[in-house]
């Protein structure tokens, strides 16, 4: 066995080897940075059984206040181990240090504190009912854990999205089996250490490594002992998971792909819009489900917005993730770059004009084996273009002029996806009117990626099923038992001293 970092599965509080080992390759320079122990069906089965055992033990009898306190301890340990988690995240993804520290690591701790606050303040739905015949009853709903939850997370924001799901799952009293992406196994493995250090009982948090079909992902999704699956990733993978859980009629929560639109009206603050769009197109090398890949710009300001975005794209600096000047990392893998490059080629073949980018950058011999791509903008495309229909998941966007509000709404909603949209305008009435007509789960006005973690997060159409965030997450991770208590008939209003209405 080589002396590379070994990333093992975590089952019932112990790190265990897998049935096979595969290399994790850095997207920065193509070097092998870790060896990952792939979980066979037996390891996944042991993880599910460990989670089930935890539910029947002390964890299954834990109180809300105890779980909230535990979540806050987890957040504290994440902050204590921030440098370790940072290195793990950069090793897997190659994203710039500043972004990883501020976004990924910071949000990981915040996700646990937010879930603790939500569960601590959650009340019970209760109703005092009086029927016309005088019968009375008190109905109240007792929330119970969903059970063993399979948590399948993607590679683009691995620690952020993992903790986004695990925190409310644990807050609700569940036990989890996590399957991180094979591209980003490091932070999930390290989070297992964090959980143990924070005092999470054995079996409550488990990690199984591997791929999807014929590997840990399929074994987890089809396991009869799993009570529900939460997944973030591609729409096609979500459809495959739905087929897997159908025989057992298990609930699912999916946050899937997006082909998000932005609409820039002529009355917008153009500098503000260009700044916001440059973030929404290029953040994390375009590898965020919320990123903008379609920009519709009102004709009077089309040229100025295109010029502004091109200038921002040219200012981006690709390179060493630890270098202070680096703004943009690589794509996640050579395979994903090949996919993105195929869209770059197809756009040109279908008549697009490349405003900026459009190829693979030359970053010198040290980074030549990395998965680098140029930030790219196109004009000369429309809603029939392949790059305006398919989710590319890279630092790319098509720029299209429009005339009038109705055309802008029609173009923005002309997609099978429905995750997010952004509207840029200084007209308050238009802002409310247009944002409300976007067929999406989230609509921003004059901003992007600004959220209250208590607000609902999710999409429509091919972009997903269900909502996450605050109490909306608790709705998936718990199931209520309604208790109805029959009460003796009481006095009617106006009788026995009751005031009449």
pLDDT, tens digit, 9 for 90 and up, residues 359-395: 999 999 999 999 999 999 999 999 999 999 999 999 9
Residue 498, domain member (yes or no): no
Distance of alpha carbon 168 from alpha carbon 160, whole angstroms: 13
Under 8 Å CB-to-CB from 102, ≥6 apart: which residues? none
User: 379 with 328, same domain?
Assistant: yes
**390 phi, psi to nearest 5 deg:** -90, 150
pLDDT value, residue 490:
65
DSSP β-bridge partners for residue 35: 6, 23
Instruction: Give the integer Cα–Cα distance in Å for 305 and 223.
Output: 51
* Helix 64-80 vs helix 158-171: crossing angle, to nearest 10: 160
Beta bridge pairs of residue 231: 152, 254
CATH number at residue 251: 3.40.605.10
CA-closest candidate to residue 73, choices 85, 61, 81, 83 = 81
Q: 312 and 199: one domain?
A: no
Examine residue 493 and state whether it is found in any structural domain, yes or no: no
Q: Is 291 a catalytic residue?
A: no
Catalytic-labelled residue, pool 38, 97, 255, 468: 255
What CATH number is attached to the domain comprising 332?
Answer: 3.40.309.10
Strands 376-379 and 353-356: antiparallel
* DSSP letters spanning 382-444: -TTSHHHHS---SSEEEEEEE-SHHHHHHHHH-SSEESEEEEE-S-HHHHHHHHHHS-SSEEE
Token pair of 292 as six digits: 């903008």
Same domain assignment for residues 189 and 303: no
**Secondary structure of residue 339 in the 3-state scheme:** helix
pLDDT score recorded for residue 294: 98
**pTM (two decimals):** 0.94
Is 255 annotated in the active site?
A: yes
Domain contains 56:
yes
- 152 and 205 belong to one structural domain: yes
Residues 223, 248 contacting (CB under 8 angstroms): no
Task: Please check whether residues 217 and 345 belong to one and the same domain.
Answer: no
Residues 239 and 312 in one domain: no
Residue 241 lies in a domain: yes
Burial class (CB in 10 A: 0-12, 13-18, 19+), 221: buried
Within a 13 Å sphere around the CA of 301, how many CA atoms are in the beta-carbon half?
21
Distances (CA, A) of 68 to 199, 243, 269, 474: 13, 35, 43, 13
Is residue 290 located within the same domain as residue 210?
Answer: no
Task: List the Cα angle 451/454/457 in 5-degree steps.
Answer: 65
- Which residue segment(s) compose the domain that 360 sits in? 260-445
Does residue 108 belong to any structural domain of this protein? yes
Question: If DSSP codes are grouped into helix, strand and coil, which group holds residue 15?
Answer: strand
Q: Evaluate whether residue 491 is within a structural domain.
A: no
Spans in the chain with pLDDT lower than 70: 1-3, 490-501
* Cα torsion 99, 232, 286, 362: sign: positive
Work out the angle at residue 323's Cα, subtended by the Cα atoms of residues 318 and 327, and round it to the nearest 5 degrees.
40
Question: What is the tally of structural domains in the chain?
Answer: 2
Do 220 and 141 share a domain, yes or no? yes
Give the residue from 396, 415, 445 where a domain finishes. Answer: 445
Residue 326 forms part of a structural domain: yes
**Residues in the chain, total:** 501
Which one is catalytic: 289, 291, 298, 468? 289
Which string of DSSP letters, residue by residue, matches 232-277?
Answer: ES-HHHHHHHHHHHGGGT--EEEE----EEEEE-TTS-HHHHHHHH
Q: Is residue 298 domain-shared with residue 417, that is, in the same domain? A: yes
Alpha-carbon gap, residue 325 to 415, rounded angstroms? 37
Assess whether 13 and 114 both reside in one domain. Answer: yes
Structure tokens at 474: 């608790």
What is the pLDDT at residue 204? 98
Assess whether 122 and 243 both reside in one domain. yes
Instruction: Output the six-digit token pair for 99.
Output: 């972004």
Q: Please check whether residue 393 is in contact with residue 340, taking contact to mean a CB–CB distance below 8 angstroms.
A: yes
Which pLDDT value is given to residue 306?
A: 98
232 and 143 belong to one structural domain = yes
Domain membership of residue 317 (yes or no) is yes
């Amino acid at each position: 066995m080589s002396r590379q970092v070994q990333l093992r599965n975590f089952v019932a509080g112990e790190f265990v080897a897998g049935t096979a080992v595969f290399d994790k390759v850095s997207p920065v320079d193509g070097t092998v940075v870790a060896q990952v122990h792939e979980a066979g069906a037996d390891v996944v089965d042991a993880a599910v059984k460990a989670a089930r055992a935890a539910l029947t033990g002390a964890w299954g009898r834990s109180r809300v206040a105890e779980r909230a306190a535990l979540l806050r301890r987890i957040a504290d340990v994440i902050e204590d181990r921030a440098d370790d988690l940072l290195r793990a995240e950069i090793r897997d993804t190659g994203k710039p240090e500043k972004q990883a520290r501020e976004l990924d690591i910071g949000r990981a701790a915040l996700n646990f504190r937010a879930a603790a606050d939500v569960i601590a303040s959650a009340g019970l739905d209760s109703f005092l009912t009086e029927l016309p015949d005088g019968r009375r009853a008190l109905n109240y709903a007792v929330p119970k854990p969903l059970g063993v939850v399979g948590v399948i997370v993607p590679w683009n924001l691995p620690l952020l999205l993992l903790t986004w799901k695990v925190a409310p799952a644990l807050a609700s009293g569940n036990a989890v089996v996590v399957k991180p992406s094979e591209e980003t196994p490091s932070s999930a493995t390290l989070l297992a250490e964090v959980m143990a250090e924070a005092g999470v009982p054995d079996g409550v948090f488990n990690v199984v490594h591997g791929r999807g079909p014929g590997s840990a992902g399929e074994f987890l999704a089809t396991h009869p002992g799993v009570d529900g699956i939460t997944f973030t990733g591609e729409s096609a993978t979500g459809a495959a998971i739905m087929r897997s859980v159908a025989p057992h009629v298990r609930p699912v929560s999916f946050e899937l792909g997006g082909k998000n639109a932005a609409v820039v009206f002529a009355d917008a603050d153009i500098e503000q819009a260009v700044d916001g769009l440059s973030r929404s197109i290029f953040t994390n090398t375009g590898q965020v489900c919320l990123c903008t890949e379609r920009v519709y710009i009102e004709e009077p300001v089309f040229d100025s917005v295109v010029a502004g975005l091109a200038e921002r794209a040219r200012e981006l600096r690709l390179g060493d993730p630890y270098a202070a000047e680096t703004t943009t990392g690589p794509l996640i893998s050579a395979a994903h770059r090949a996919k993105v490059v195929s869209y770059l080629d197809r756009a040109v073949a279908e008549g697009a004009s490349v405003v900026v980018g459009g190829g693979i950058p030359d970053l010198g011999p040290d980074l030549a084996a990395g998965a680098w791509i140029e930030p790219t903008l196109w004009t000369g495309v429309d809603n029939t273009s392949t790059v305006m229909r398919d989710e590319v998941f890279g630092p790319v966007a098509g720029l299209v002029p429009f005339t009038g509000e109705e055309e802008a709404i029609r173009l923005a909603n002309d997609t099978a996806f429905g995750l997010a949209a952004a509207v840029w305008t200084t007209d308050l009435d238009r802002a409310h009117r247009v944002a409300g007509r976007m067929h999406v789960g989230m609509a921003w006005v004059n901003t992007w990626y600004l959220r209250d973690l208590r607000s609902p997060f999710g999409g429509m159409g091919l972009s997903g099923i269900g909502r996450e965030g605050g109490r909306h997450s608790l709705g998936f991770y718990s199931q209520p038992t309604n208790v109805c208590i029959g009460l003796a008939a009481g006095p009617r209003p106006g009788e026995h001293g009751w005031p009449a209405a």
